[in-house]
Amino acid sequence: MATIVAPSQISPVEDAEALRLAFKGWGADNKAIIAILGHRNVHQRQQIRKAYDELFEEDLLKRLESEISGDFERAVYRWILEPADRDAVLINVAIKHGGKDYHVVAEIASVLSAEELLAVRRAYRNRYKRSIEEDVSANTTGHLRQLLVGLVSSFRYEGDEINPKLAQSEAHIIHESLKEKKGNNEEEVIRILTTRSKTQLVATFNRYRDEHGVSVSKKLLDQTSDDFHKALHTAIRSINDHKKYYEKDLKDIKELYYKRNSVHLEDAVSKETSGDYKKFILALLGKQE
Amino acid sequence: MATIVAPSQISPVEDAEALRLAFKGWGADNKAIIAILGHRNVHQRQQIRKAYDELFEEDLLKRLESEISGDFERAVYRWILEPADRDAVLINVAIKHGGKDYHVVAEIASVLSAEELLAVRRAYRNRYKRSIEEDVSANTTGHLRQLLVGLVSSFRYEGDEINPKLAQSEAHIIHESLKEKKGNNEEEVIRILTTRSKTQLVATFNRYRDEHGVSVSKKLLDQTSDDFHKALHTAIRSINDHKKYYEKDLKDIKELYYKRNSVHLEDAVSKETSGDYKKFILALLGKQE
């Protein structure tokens, strides 16, 4: 994330000691925590965590958990986790919230590559002593369960081949399912979405748009918006855009945000957040004090 | 497999050259092929394959494919493959046969550990340019699809913890489903079977047996035996016995076979097979000529 103002050279040991100092006494020195963690890149954060563990024989994450709370805690906590671990936590939180948060599960599972998703499944198992599919399926039923379990369990082929005939026939299946108000083709749509390669799926979505003059994801927005259709919509959008996600850069996101909303992302964040949480997020967005 | 009569020291290069010679001329010298490949252990077979590739710049497997055919080919071919690759081929063959062979898919997926199953999924993707779940789900529907896709996509937790309350409640769900002739609890049984850890499942199966005086797998044999119930039965049996599978040894299998059938396995094989296929299988069973 190219917006962070991170020094190129840091001393993990000095940072670990400064954090230790910030934890001293009654109530943590949140300003010091933001000054350090808000200005370190992913690699530096891992180094600090390691140094902290070696110096004080204590897990920095666990210490942070006991020192800070609320939105600020969650932001810092996710920020310091490695990507696979962070996604495992996000999925677990979404499952606990249930209902309207299931699209988060659909998004993470659809955006990641096969190997990245696998790393998240490993991290989840280590952290919660259960599998993702176990928790997802114990909390859902019917088509929503089928879709989510299929997405989180997938290990898609990732070659560049496209089968145009298959794209045509499966675009037709999707069309038939969306056409009826109470589609009885949902199981076939779930099958296609959870098992085909992303390259093949993009070809199928393109075929659909060429034939019907509207994208699958737009068409879905007209449907009843229950949890299942919301997750379905998220999965289709994420698969269609999965390449964009690979070039995650907060700088691009800031530009795109301004283009779409004519408001600077920093200003929107300032309006919506407060306190240490606000300071931390603004530090990540590269705002100098 | 402790029955093979394999010399402790072999020369991969000499073996590769002998195989090359066996392929010379019109029709392969099957006797020579059996004499070599039937008497080499898994490590030695990999060495021979590597030596053959280096000496003749040709894949031994592909050459075998063009030289031999029928049952003999399939046996040799599977014999020389590494386990993950072999299971990928077996799953693919089972999907192609369809119907009554789907229990093979259920068995392989249920017997393997999470990491072993993952290796098979990788091998399948490399070999067929599609995922296992993609091929399974495109060829099945309904509960059979749900069960098989769930089994082949699972990445189960593998800790030793048992939740006795969960074992009780899920044994009850399984009982309710089996009790009715047309169970409408099948989706819950599939969920349990495809997501819980094997240790937990064994506890659930034990609980069922303690309460109803009959094992789940025996009870299932009384049900309608369609493809779904056959695959279900295989999965339950394989999960229940998964520890036994880890100590695969043809010597034990031979003893067990004799104990159960009062017939020697070699004699049964002799009766059921013929030609080079017979000679090859008997060589694997350790029968000296």
pTM of the model: 0.80
DSSP code at position A10? -
Report the C-alpha gap between A95 and A136 in whole angstroms.
6
Mean pLDDT over all residues of chain A?
88
pLDDT at residue number A214: 93
> How does DSSP assign A130-199, residue by residue?
S-HHHHHHHT--HHHHHHHHHHHH----------HHHHHHHHHHHHHHHHSTT-S-HHHHHHHHHHS-HH
CB proximity list for B175: less than 8 A, separation 6 or greater: B208, B211, B212
Question: Mean of the pLDDT values across residues A41-67?
Answer: 88
Taking Cα atoms as reference points, which of A180, A156, A169 lies closest to residue A204? A169
Q: Does A184 touch chain B (CB under 8 A)?
A: no
pLDDT > 60? residue B32: yes
The CA distance from B78 to the nearest CA of chain A, in Å, is: 24
**A191-200, B33-42, B80-89: range with highest mean pLDDT:** A191-200
Mark yes or no for CB contact B155/A133 under 8 Å.
yes
Q: Name chain A contacts of B197, Cβ cutoff 8 Å.
A: 130-131
pLDDT at residue number B40: 87
Taking Cα atoms as reference points, which of B224, B163, B226, B231 lies closest to residue B194? B231
Q: What is the pLDDT of residues A238-249, one digit of tens each?
A: 999 877 765 656
Inter-helix orientation angle B60-67/B12-23, to 10°: 30
Mark yes or no for CB contact B155/A118 under 8 Å.
yes
pLDDT at residue number A57: 94
Taking Cα atoms as reference points, which of B250, B86, B158 lies closest to residue A126? B158
pLDDT at residue number A76: 80
Give per-residue burial for B91-120: e unless 16+ CB within 10 Å, then b.
Answer: bbebbeeeeebbbbbbbbbbbbebeebbbb
pLDDT > 70? residue A182: no
pLDDT at residue number A286: 79
Structural tokens at position A103: 């699209």
Percent of chain B past pLDDT 70, that is, above it, reads 94
Mark yes or no for CB contact A137/B191 under 8 Å.
yes
| Residue pair B219/B212 in contact by the 8 Å Cβ criterion | yes
Residue of chain B nearest A147, judged by CA positions: B146
Mean pLDDT over all residues of chain B?
88
Q: What is the pLDDT of residues B149-179, one digit of tens each?
A: 999 999 999 999 999 999 999 999 999 988 8
Report the C-alpha gap between A144 and B203 in whole angstroms.
28
Q: Name chain B contacts of A109, Cβ cutoff 8 Å.
A: none
Residue of chain A nearest B117, judged by CA positions: A155
Structural tokens at position A266: 């920093």
**A38-47, A234-243, B80-89, B134-143: range with highest mean pLDDT:** B134-143
Higher per-residue pLDDT: A61 or B145: B145
Question: Mean of the pLDDT values across residues A175-200?
Answer: 88
Q: Name chain B contacts of A161, Cβ cutoff 8 Å.
A: 129
Q: What is the pLDDT of residues B231-272, one digit of tens each?
A: 999 999 999 987 776 565 677 778 878 888 888 888 988 888
| 141-160 in chain A: CB under 8 A from chain B | 141-142, 145-146, 149-150, 153-159
Give per-residue burial for A23-55: e unless 16+ CB within 10 Å, then b.
Answer: beeeebbbeebbbbbbbbeeebbebbbebbeee
B154 → closest Cβ in A122, A153, A194: A153
Q: Name chain B contacts of A191, Cβ cutoff 8 Å.
A: 137-138, 145
Q: Does B187 touch chain A (CB under 8 A)?
A: yes
> How does DSSP assign B207-274, residue by residue?
HHHHHHSS-HHHHHHTS---HHHHHHHHHHHHHHTHHHHTT--HHHHHHHHHHHHSS-HHHHHHHH--
Q: What is the pLDDT of residues B192-217, one digit of tens each?
A: 999 999 999 999 999 999 999 999 99
Question: Mean of the pLDDT values across residues A59-85?
Answer: 80
Report the C-alpha gap between A164 and A206 in whole angstroms.
11
Mark yes or no for CB contact A191/B137 under 8 Å.
yes
Question: Mean of the pLDDT values across residues B79-85?
Answer: 84
Report the C-alpha gap between B162 and B158 in whole angstroms.
11
Report the C-alpha gap between B190 and A281 in whole angstroms.
44
pLDDT at residue number A1: 45
- A205 labeled binding residue: no
A133 → closest Cβ in B121, B158, B195: B195
Q: Which helix (H) or strand (E) holds B275?
A: helix B275-284
Higher per-residue pLDDT: A96 or B75: A96
pLDDT > 60? residue B2: no
pLDDT > 60? residue B73: yes
Sign of CA dihedral A153, A155, A160, A166: negative
Mark yes or no for CB contact B146/A150 under 8 Å.
no
B155 → closest Cβ in A131, A137, A195: A131
Taken in order of first residue, the domains within chain B and their CATH numbers are: 1-80+249-289 (1.10.220.10), 83-153 (1.10.220.10), 164-245 (1.10.220.10)
Beta-carbon neighbour count of residue B46 at 10 Å? Answer: 15
pLDDT category of residue A50 using cuts at 50, 70 and 90:
very high
Enter the ipTM.
0.79
pLDDT > 70? residue B82: yes
DSSP code at position B81? S
Mark yes or no for CB contact A131/B194 under 8 Å.
no
Report the C-alpha gap between A237 and A231 in whole angstroms.
10
pLDDT > 50? residue B1: no
Percent of chain A past pLDDT 90, that is, above it, reads 51
pLDDT at residue number A128: 94
